[in-house]
Amino acid sequence: MQAAKKPGVIINMGSSAGLYPMYNDPIYSASKGGVVLFTRSLTPYKRKGIRINVLCPEFVQTEMGLKVASKFIDLMGGFVPMEMVVKGAFELITDESKAGSCLWITNRRGMEYWPTSEEKAKYLVRSSGSMKRSSSQVPLNLNVQLPESFEKLVVHTLNHNFRDATIKVRAPLRLPIKPNHVLVKIIFAGVNASDVNFSSGRYFSDGNDIGSRLPFDAGFEAVGLIAAVGDSVNNVKVGTPAAIMTFGSYAEFTMIQKLLPCLLQGLQLQLLWNRQDRHLEKRCLLQLLLGGLGNLQSSSQN
C-alpha cells in the first residue's frame, strides 16, 4: 500500500489473551499482547491513508478453542460466534476514524474498544484550558484521589523464579508526604531481566544478612505522574510527568526523593556506535550482549 501510494485497511488477528493474562498459556498471551501493542504503535500510518487495526475476540469455536475446558468456556459466556467476529472486522474497515484501534469482542460485553474508558481512566489525564500542545500543559491538571492503601509487589522469599519469590500485597499509604519527597502515581513499570537476580538476593553485598531484609519491594524503574509533594518541595508540581529508577517500582504509588530528567538506557552503546569510524568494509564485533542493550545495538547497526 505504501509503495503503491494506495490507501487501505489492514486488520491484524489478535486475541483477548493479549489484553489480560492467560495463566495457563503465558507464551500465547504474550505473543498476542505483542500484536496488540504493535498495532497500536502503527497509528501514524493513518497519515498515509493506511489504517491498521486489530481484532481481539474471546474464545471462538476453532480446533484450538475446543481444547479449552468447557466449564471455563461456559464461565466466559460461551464461544463467540464467527458472525460477530466478521461484523467486528467490517466495523474496523468502514469506520474511517479507527486507526491503531483494538476491538475486543466477547459474549458478555459485545464489541468494545480497548483500552476501555475504565482502563483509560487509570492513566489518562487532561490539561485545563486549551488543548493545544504547548509547554503550558506541563504540569498537567491531575486530579488524583489519594487512597488509604495501594497494591504493590514484594519479594517475600528468595528465589530465582520471580513468580514464586513475589506476592502482591496491599500497603497503607503513609501521609503526609515527607518534606523532601514526592509521591509518584506509577503508570508504567519497566520489566528487567535483572528482576530475577534481585528476587534471588544476588544484588545485596552482605550475603549473610539477606534473609533479614525480607520482605522488600520489587521493581527497578517506572514512569508516572507526581501525585503529591512534600512541604519542602518547590521545583516540582502535582501532575508533572516523572521517571524513576528506584526499588519499589512494581507498585501503584511510591514515595521517592529523586527524579530523573530522562532515562539513559542504551545511551552508552548509541554513543559508541555514533562516534566510531564507520566504513562499509569494516566489521564490528558485539560480544556478550544478549539482553536489551545487545538488541538495541544490533538494531541500530541494521
Give the CATH number, domain containing residue 200: 3.90.180.10
pLDDT at 191: 87
Q: Return the DSSP state at 88.
A: H
Number of domains, the chain: 2
What are 297's three cell numbers?
545495538
Using the 3D structure, point to which of 220, 240, 256 is the last residue of a domain. Answer: 256
Kindly state whether residues 112 and 165 are assigned to the same domain. Answer: no
pTM score over 0.75: no
pLDDT tens digits in sequence order for the chain, 302 residues long: 888 888 999 999 999 988 887 778 888 888 999 999 899 989 999 999 999 999 999 988 888 888 888 888 888 889 999 999 999 999 999 999 999 999 999 999 999 998 877 777 666 554 444 334 434 345 555 566 788 999 999 999 999 999 999 999 999 998 888 888 999 999 989 888 889 988 988 877 665 577 788 899 999 889 899 999 988 888 888 888 888 888 899 999 999 887 766 666 666 666 666 666 555 566 666 555 555 555 555 555 54
Kindly state whether residues 184 and 228 are assigned to the same domain. Answer: yes
Kindly state whether residues 110 and 153 are assigned to the same domain. Answer: no
Scan for cell 562499509, then name that residue.
280
Kindly state whether residues 101 and 177 are assigned to the same domain. Answer: no
Beta strands in 58-217 (DSSP E): 102-106, 110-114, 149-155, 166-172, 182-190, 216-217
Task: Provide the residue range defining the domain that includes 51.
Answer: 8-117
Report yes or no on 285 lying in a domain. Answer: no
Report yes or no on 279 lying in a domain. Answer: no
Kindly state whether residues 248 and 154 are assigned to the same domain. Answer: yes
Kindly state whether residues 103 and 154 are assigned to the same domain. Answer: no
Q: Are 255 and 186 in contact (CB under 8 A)?
A: no
Using the 3D structure, point to which of 102, 117, 132 is the last residue of a domain. Answer: 117
Report yes or no on 13 lying in a domain. Answer: yes
Report yes or no on 168 lying in a domain. Answer: yes
pLDDT at 279: 55
